[in-house]
Amino acid sequence: MRHGVRHFPALDALRGVAAVLIVLHHFRILSVLDNNLIVHSRLMVDLFFVISGFVIAYQYQRRLTSPRDIIGFQKRRFWRLYPLHLLMLGVFVGIETLKYLAFHVGHVQSIEPGFTSNPPMAILSNLLLVHSLGVHEMTTFNFPSWSISVEFYTYLIFAVMTVLTPGRLRVWCYAGMALVGAILLKTFGTHFTHAQDLGLFRCLFSFFVGCVTANIFTHLHTKAWQSRSWVAWGLMLLAGGMVYGRVGLYALPIVFGAMILSLVGLPEKSALSSLMRHRFLQYMGRISYSVYMTHAAVIWGVKLVLIKVMGIPMAGGYLQVGLLGSVILTSVLLAMVWCISHLTWRWVEEPFRIKTPKTEPFGDWQHDQQPQQARLQAA
């Protein structure tokens, strides 16, 4: 596998779309969002896992050769994930504190008392990133962060496995780990979409499918292989259909992997590749982590205003605002999420990635591409 850094615009676009679908999935108090694609869009987390496995394996598989490399790699992953996680944990601890004061001091009886669903001990597990390793019966505080917990330790498993495994055996070990994750999830789980309890098995399955996909792509890329747009469109439709119908879920990460393979292998001049490179989709990809991590707090605030402050009635689990009102509220929510996500991306994500010591051999795959492009242009 090559040592150079390569940027995959198609994967940025995919992450941006997946993040928006997850936001809509968690805002299903509007009837306009009650359709199977949105209802089942929690499965987009598995797409994130596959993309992450692909990118990490493609960029770092040959660069991890010693225990020191493991430390450097894991340090990079920590600073990539933790600052925004810590910020949002602080936001939700603040929310729980306000709920506690409102109930016990202000005697507001219409809300759940603070730290009821989110016990104080969960603060420690969230700080240690172990809150989704089976220590709680439900997701706590910033509930989307369950995936950050399991992915952080999946990174460590990947790094250790890569250092300990001879080069040609790695892809088989990756495939074996994906199979182990699937078997454990199927054996001990009752459904595919486990989060805070068996989410690690789910992440292992999808992440290492992505690692295998990266190795397949590298092998094909050396033979000047190119994908076809109709194959990519077909696989995207197949994946969308599987999510919509919630069928064949244990095959879904493999379909995601095939879809990624077909997209990154497209000729740059193809119409689909040009679409994936659209500035808006690329921007959404850049802020997708912030969108994913901040949207739960935004939704909490919007619901509070709509239901508790404005008193908009609900029936059958939906706000009674009509079709036009639903479209307007959804647009307002997305605009708020995008604005806040831009701020957290600019002032939380970016500074910590830039300030990470440059002496380490591992940089973020998106940001390492920019210096490389500058060098090429200078040449």
Token look-up 């690690």 returns: 200
| Model pTM score | 0.90
Burial profile 202-211: b = 16 or more Cβ within 10 angstroms, e = fewer: bbbbbbbbbb
Q: What is the pLDDT along the chain (379 residues), one digit of tens a residue?
A: 444 457 899 999 999 999 999 999 998 777 777 788 888 999 999 999 999 999 999 999 999 999 999 999 999 999 999 999 999 999 999 999 998 888 778 767 657 788 888 999 999 999 999 999 988 889 999 999 999 999 999 999 999 999 999 888 999 999 999 999 999 999 998 888 888 888 999 999 999 999 999 999 998 876 777 888 888 899 999 999 999 888 889 999 999 999 999 999 988 888 999 999 999 999 999 999 999 999 999 999 998 888 888 888 877 677 888 888 888 899 999 999 999 999 999 999 999 875 444 444 444 434 444 433 333 333 3
DSSP letter string, 302-333: HHIIIIIIS---EETTEE--HHHHHHHHHHHH
Cα distance between residue 170 and residue 307, in whole Å: 53
* Residue 315: predicted pLDDT: 74
Cα distance between residue 102 and residue 107, in whole Å: 6
* Residue 255: predicted pLDDT: 95
Cα distance between residue 341 and residue 368, in whole Å: 22
Token look-up 């994908």 returns: 227
Cα distance between residue 181 and residue 179, in whole Å: 5
Across 187-300, where does the E strand assignment appear?
none
* Residue 361: predicted pLDDT: 46
Task: Give 324: exposed, middle or buried? Use CB within 10 Å, 0-12, 13-18, 19+.
Answer: exposed
DSSP letter string, 94-133: HHHHHHHHHHHTS--TTSPPTTSSS-THHHHHHHTT-TTS
Chain center to CA of 343: 18
Residue of 375, 378, 365 lying closest to 9 (CA atoms): 365
To 5 degrees, how large is the angle CA 266–CA 267–CA 271? 85
